[in-house]
Structure 1
Amino acid sequence: MSDSDLISLYSGRILELAAEIPHTGRLPEAQGSARRRSPVCGSTVTVDLKLRDGRVEDFAQDVKACALGQASASIMGHALLGRSRTEVETARDALRAMLTSGGPVPEAPFDGYEVLLPARDYRNRHASILLALEAAAEAFAEAEAR
């Protein structure tokens, strides 16, 4: 990876997002929890959530990831409250398609993922970027199964 590639990939906005992750920590008495780990880099994200009427009422996330994984968790953290399981799974699938097959940026309120478009060319970064939404979708499924 050249210096200009690194500058493009780790833009100032990505680094800002990584430094401002909302809803960090763990959520006591969560209805659903899930931990996802990237086998490529070892990044992990754990999401705990509470639902009300089929929507995220409260959540927390424990993020131990690279700057791209942190930025992804930050974007999700700003959008997750009030979302349904379908919205979370749709955003996860759209993000995966955006990264791997040239799909469009996820729709609002998850459209902040546009900042991660330069990561399309770096397959070894995709798993870390997907962790937060994958963990949120799994935690949602667990909460609904209870």
Structure 2
Amino acid sequence: MTEKLYNDAIIAEAKANHAHGRLEAPDRSVTCDNPLCGDRITIDLKLAGERIAALAQKTRGCLLTQAAASVIGQRAVGAEPAEIERAATELRRLLAGEAVAPVWPELAMFAPVKAVKSRHECVLLPFEALREALEGKLAPGG
């Protein structure tokens, strides 16, 4: 592996921790775990029609999971499910080693992770949680 797994961009994004916290009275909320490593993310959403009007994420995990959650926190507000799915698909392709220019340019920082298949789920966990939330998982008590 010629590139560092935890490159400066991943470290900086994890520290930025965009949209960290919880939303009061979210329309949708979901918690996802990676049982292999113990990473956990909770995503809260408020929706305006199909668009994400507000998003908060509370993440406990490695730098890869934290950085991916932060990118979502920065980019997902205002997006529709099709844009989120496109970003997730491009990220999966990037991790598979395909030459991809992701719709969210920040996702390119995860290119070194392609060499460590066991860490792909760390990067994808926040996208899985967001997908589940968009599919209609109700908020607690909802």
Structure 2 length-normalised TM: 0.88
- C-alpha distance in 2 between matches for 1:143 and 1:82: 19
Aligned to 1:104: 100
1:136 matched to 2:130: yes
**Structure 2: runs of 5+ lacking an equivalent:** none
Alpha-carbon shift at residue 111 of structure 1 (Å) = 1.9
Aligned to 1:51: 47
Aligned to 1:72: 68
- C-alpha distance in 1 between matches for 2:8 and 2:125: 21
Instruction: Looking at secondary structure, tell me which structure has more helix per residue.
Output: 1
CA pair 143-50 structure 1, distance change in 2 beyond 3 A = farther
**2:122 aligned partner, one-letter code:** S
CA pair 101-9 structure 1, distance change in 2 beyond 3 A = closer
Alpha-carbon shift at residue 55 of structure 1 (Å) = 0.4
Residues 86-143 of structure 1: CA deviation (Å, up to 9, x unaligned):
1112211221121125251421xx2211011000001111101011111111111116
Which of 96, 115, 121 is the aligned partner of 2:115?
121
State the SS of the aligned residue for 1:8.
coil
Alpha-carbon shift at residue 84 of structure 1 (Å) = 0.1
**1:128 aligned partner, one-letter code:** C
Cα pair 1:98 1:117 within 8 Å, conserved: yes
Cα pair 1:14 1:68 within 8 Å, conserved: yes
**1:137 aligned partner, one-letter code:** R
CA pair 73-105 structure 1, distance change in 2 beyond 3 A = farther
- C-alpha distance in 1 between matches for 2:98 and 2:31: 27
Alignment of 1:10-89 (within 5 A): 10-89=6-85
Runs of 4+ in 1 over 4 A off after TM superposition: none
Percent pairwise identity: 31
Q: Say how many residue pairs are matched.
A: 139
State the SS of the aligned residue for 2:130.
helix
- C-alpha distance in 1 between matches for 2:94 and 2:5: 15
